[in-house]
Amino acid sequence: MILKLDQNTINQIAAGEVIDRPSSVVKELLENSIDAGATAITVEIREGGISLIRITDNGCGIRGEEIPLAFQRHTTSKIQSAEDLLTVKSLGFRGEALSSIAAVAQVELISKTADSLTGFRYVIEGGEEKRLEEVGAPEGTTFLVHNLFYHTPARKKFLKSPATEGGYISDLMQRMALSHPEISLRLIVNNQTKLHTAGNHNLKDIIYGIYGREITRELVPVNRELFCGRIEGYVGKPAVSKGNRSWENYFINGRYIKSHIIGKALEDAFHGIMMQHKYPFCVLHLKIDPAYIDVNVHPSKMEIRFQQGEQLYQEVTEAVSAALKSEEMIPSFSVGAEEKKKASAAAPRGAEPFEKRRMQEEKKTELQKEDCAQSNAKVRDSGQPPAYVRKQDDVPAQRDEPPQSDEKRQREHVRETPSYALEHTPVPTEVKQQELFEEKLLQKHFSDEYQIIGQLFRTYWLIQYQDTFLIVDQHAAHEKVLFEKLRKVFRESAVVAQQMNPPFVFTLSASEELLLKEYGTFLKNAGFEIEPFGGSEYAVYAMPMELYRIDSRKLLREIIDGLSQMRGSREADAVYEQIAACSCKGAIKGNQQISRKEMEVLLEQLMGLENPYTCPHGRPVIIKMTRYELEKKFKRVIS
């Protein structure tokens, strides 16, 4: 028997597509607040958002007569027809969020528009309207969502612990902060503020607040035009990596998404300069013409379809690659661990630009306060009143002035400090960190300034360059030089084949035979001559000249294994890079003695590369330590 479902059941089913946990509620209501033009939004939760979610904004509000309509399914102010889906710029547009939330929770709404004398309070529980009344309220909207899934215990039992659900909301708030640095966001968890952003449009400030100093100091800016818009933001240097993709944050028109195209473009840009099975850090904003994307894919709006996705992939890869190539990628090392207490007590060296000014002002103010206190103590001891103290009649009448920012108040405090203190305040001597990388360190025109000290453990080279101490891994360096040489030979079709005498025969499995047939043309163009020898055996009659001295059987096995991981890619450059990466087995090894002349030649070749910082597998080729850092370890300088 076919029956028409009642409206309550329909709403429950629809709500399951949009609202599956407290973080879903927060996401939908946050997007509505942002679409309403809010510049400040506060989110408060209790018990992980299960018992209470309160979201307050200073947006445009909702008119009283429109509030009941807003809680009906497929009602929205964002679009008016199907054609609008092609140009939608708002975060929300499906008209399902409020009805879905109201279907599974007890909801209270208080809202006021700028042109209304009073606000309105609306209560709806389980999809059933309870009351609508006028109340006094500030401009904007407040949502209170109580007892999520209160009348659907079967769904409520699938929620995790309050701490875990609260963690999901915290992660969501961090992404929202990163996607909208122009909005001040505050998260309050069980009466404690966990996140608060200034809304000052400074993305780097937000990254610093969320991820800390160590990541922020390793950021590389990305800023480039695309055929369909623009990409801007930051990526981390290869040293900043993680074993999963949780540090990959990319937003399209302010919307946090997951995209195979963008993710692959990002990871391919790091290919060869990051360790295998590691993933990069990024916060990237893509501003794309809505005509090139389709956001109406899934109710969660986490997926987007792209027109000309291949071109977008290429341009994003090029943008990130160009940004990385513009930076010096030599990681620093330190001998031993710094004491955390000292590091936190003293102003950090090499502070980020947005911190330097604040720290300098704070230090100057503290010094002035101390000196002022000392001068006042001297005056008191002499029995004379301080020269800067004025009579009550001399104090000018105070005027009503707008509130001052913390920074302005601090400047005013410094300006009003007594002249005696200003004249006698010692000027602190600031030790500035030497700027080593105004030019890239590894360049051929610096070669005469390098002094090779020698070989350590028959594996590492010790090199002095000006006030920098360098350590080079000889195997990684030679491997990189060979890789770039082979890749260039393959790309320029300058391969010279060397005949094998006698040829060698090897056996392939059925899947390996398929790979050999699939990539046979590429292998032939790379200088391999491989012919069937009967059954599942094949004979190798020639190899590239550059690989002739390498263990042929082992090398060919590794190349075939590498091709099996390429998932059917037939792009020539990708295949040749895979061959080159597997072909670096001919590099000098660790624990192998080499002459100083060999070091000099290899170092000169290394400096001639575009990216000499990592081997083809992502391991560092070279690390550095400044003279200042070394002398600090020997207590020659005190910071």
| Calpha distance 134→132 (Å, rounded) | 7
**Domain-ending residue, one of 325, 354, 381:** 325
In this prediction, residue 374 carries a pLDDT of: 60
Question: Is the model's pLDDT at 635 over the cut of 70?
Answer: yes
| Calpha distance 578→563 (Å, rounded) | 7
Residue from 207, 298, 222 nearest 259 by CA: 298
| Calpha distance 439→330 (Å, rounded) | 13
Q: pLDDT tier at 2 (50, 70, 90 boundaries)? A: low
CA atoms within a 13 Å half-sphere pointing along the CA-CB vector of 383: 0
Is the residue at 546 inside a domain? yes
In this prediction, residue 355 carries a pLDDT of: 45
Shared domain for 212 and 182, answered yes or no, is: no
Question: Is the model's pLDDT at 198 over the cut of 90?
Answer: yes
What is the rounded average pLDDT of the residues 625-639? 82
Taking the whole predicted model, whether its pTM rises above 0.75 is answered as no
Shared domain for 521 and 627, answered yes or no, is: yes
Shared domain for 126 and 209, answered yes or no, is: no
pLDDT digits (tens, 9 = 90+) for 504-529: 888 887 778 888 888 888 888 888 89
Q: Which domain CATH number covers 581? A: 3.30.1540.20
Q: Tell me the one-letter amino acid at 153.
A: P
> How many domains would you assign to the chain?
3
Is the residue at 557 inside a domain? yes
Where on the phi/psi map is residue 280: left (φ > 0), alpha (ψ -120 to 50), or beta?
A: beta
| Cα 572–Cα 574–Cα 576 angle in degrees, nearest 5 | 70
In this prediction, residue 397 carries a pLDDT of: 42
Shared domain for 181 and 220, answered yes or no, is: no
| Calpha distance 170→255 (Å, rounded) | 17
In this prediction, residue 205 carries a pLDDT of: 94
pLDDT digits (tens, 9 = 90+) for 417-462: 333 333 333 333 333 333 333 455 555 555 667 888 888 898 998 9
In this prediction, residue 194 carries a pLDDT of: 92
284 contacts 235 by C-beta, under 8 angstroms: yes
Q: Tell me the one-letter amino acid at 531.
A: E
Range of the domain at 446: 435-639
**Domain-ending residue, one of 167, 191, 215:** 191
pLDDT digits (tens, 9 = 90+) for 358-372: 456 556 666 665 665
Shared domain for 180 and 207, answered yes or no, is: no
Shared domain for 55 and 144, answered yes or no, is: yes
Shared domain for 555 and 622, answered yes or no, is: yes
| Calpha distance 357→406 (Å, rounded) | 13
Residue from 50, 76, 67 nearest 109 by CA: 67
**Domain-ending residue, one of 325, 345, 373:** 325
pLDDT digits (tens, 9 = 90+) for 324-340: 988 777 777 665 544 44
Question: Is the model's pLDDT at 133 over the cut of 90?
Answer: yes
Is the residue at 339 inside a domain? no
Q: pLDDT tier at 347 (50, 70, 90 boundaries)? A: very low
Q: Which domain CATH number covers 277? A: 3.30.230.10
In this prediction, residue 339 carries a pLDDT of: 42
